[in-house]
Amino acid sequence: MELTPVTEATRIILENTIDYGTEYVPFDSANRRVLAEPLVADRDFPPFDRVTMDGIAIQWQSYVNGQRSFRIESTQTAGETQQTLTDSNACIEVMTGTSLPVNTNLVIRYEDLEIKEGVAHLKTTVNEGQNIHYRGEDRMVGKIIIEPNTPLGPPEIAIAASIGATRIGVKKLPTVVIITSGDELVSVEQTPLSHQIRSSNVHCIATLLKEYQINVDFIHIPDDLSTTQQTIQIALTQYDVLILCGGVSQGKKDFIPKALQAEGVEKYFHKLSQQPGKPFWFGRKGNNVVFALPGNPVSSFMCARRYFIPWLRKSLGLSPMDTMYAALSEDYTYTSPLTYFLQVQLFQEGATLMARPITGHGSGDFANLVNTQGFLELPKEKNEFHRGEIFPLWRYDFGS
């Protein structure tokens, strides 16, 4: 069987993204969701000429005319109704956040004053308009503050609150199920027998999806063709996305490809020119998208990070994550004619991000992942790689 190149697989997957529409959620429940419609200023930002320092408000002309001492006429604090300066040679004490009093156009902070017996004496030079945040200076009423397809975080939630957007439109998330297969797998709560292992892939991939606020359901099926087909048939009616782990290679109990075909899922590719993750299967049936990942934990994690997350981001309207690069810290040789995703330990060497190979013991060595921070994508066109050569990096975390 001809292997699909990594670049071709990437193109196919990203051509099969799906917009799942819009839903409305309370603004304070929208953290880490993706905005589906613009957030617009319902009034000027700020809505009034705002004082930015505690001090006094005066008329600039009185300073120009030589005035350096100002009788305190009154005090205005944040939240109080705007006052009016009646004596042009006097001042009004003002606090940060209050609206600028009428007939004033300059705020002098307390640090630049000496106040004695109700008179503020100036100790330094000042400038017209200082310490004032002018009305509409940030955004004018009706202007877009946050564009659609923006991921929402604390600043964006604060903006929603400030414009009174109690419910906001966000990109609807796909419903996702992770289906594992393999008679050797038992649940985390169980004590495995000598020939069994606890199921870990599902929790690794589920954690990836939680970064995007997607909560997944889990299904485990035995190595049985009929049960596999029935499970996939039901899952296709209940979920938008099926992520399968295991059962996609050439073993006698690898029933997933046959069951998917029987249920009418169109295969777009099966087996990639890569290691780990060579048996990866991808297909679609209508609006159902199926990612059938290899069962080995490093393979399934790599495929989920390298292919599923970019698909999800594009489906949600997010821009692609910036491609990161790192330089090999030492020479490395890889003899197979496949794209190789090398596990690496990252560190800085001056201004350069360096990648130290930490190969582990194959795609079943899940423990090795905790000693590394990413996969360095080495091209299949060569097998000898030298210190200082730079290659694409797929970090495990999303903060980079």
> For 218-269, what is each residue's pLDDT tens digit?
999 988 899 999 999 999 999 999 999 988 877 676 899 999 999 999 999 9
Tens of pLDDT, residue by residue over 188-204, are 676 777 776 566 678 88
For the chain, domains (ranges, CATH) are 6-20+173-315 (3.40.980.10), 22-45+137-171 (3.90.105.10), 50-133 (2.170.190.11), 324-395 (2.40.340.10)
Average pLDDT rounded to a whole number, residues 103-129? 97
pLDDT at 400 over 50: no
pLDDT of residue 227: 93
For range 279-294, the mean pLDDT: 97
What pairs with residue 384 in β-bridges? Answer: 333
Write the CA distances from 144 to 147, 155, 319, integer angstroms. 7, 15, 19
134: its two tokens: 């002018």
308: left (phi over 0), alpha (psi -120 to 50) or beta: alpha
Q: Which amino acid, one-letter code, is at 80?
A: E
Q: Residue 111 — φ and ψ, nearest 5°?
A: -60, -20
Tokens of 312: 């999800």
303 or 181, which is more confident? 303
Mean of the per-residue pLDDT values of the chain: 93
Q: What is the pLDDT of residues 24-37, one digit of tens each?
A: 999 999 999 999 99
**pLDDT (mean) for 163-169:** 97
pLDDT of residue 181: 85
| Whole-prediction pTM | 0.87
Sign of CA dihedral 147, 151, 155, 156: positive
Mean pLDDT for 314-323 is 93
pLDDT digits (tens, 9 = 90+) for 361-382: 666 566 778 889 999 999 998 8
The answer to whether residues 321 and 392 touch, using CB atoms and an 8 Å cutoff, is no
For residue 9, the SS3 value is helix
How far is Cα 386 from Cα 208, in angstroms, rounded to an integer?
32
Give residue-wise pLDDT tens across range 333-345.
Answer: 998 899 999 999 9
Average pLDDT over residues 174-195: 78
Q: What is the pLDDT of residue 146?
A: 97
Q: Kind and range of the H or E element at 325? A: strand 324-328
Separation CA 360–CA 56 (nearest Å): 67
Mean pLDDT of 108-134: 97
What are 74's strand-pairing partners? 92
The pLDDT value recorded for residue 363 is 61
> Average pLDDT for residues 92-108, to the nearest whole number?
98
Torsion of CA 360, 326, 274, 245, to 10 degrees: 60
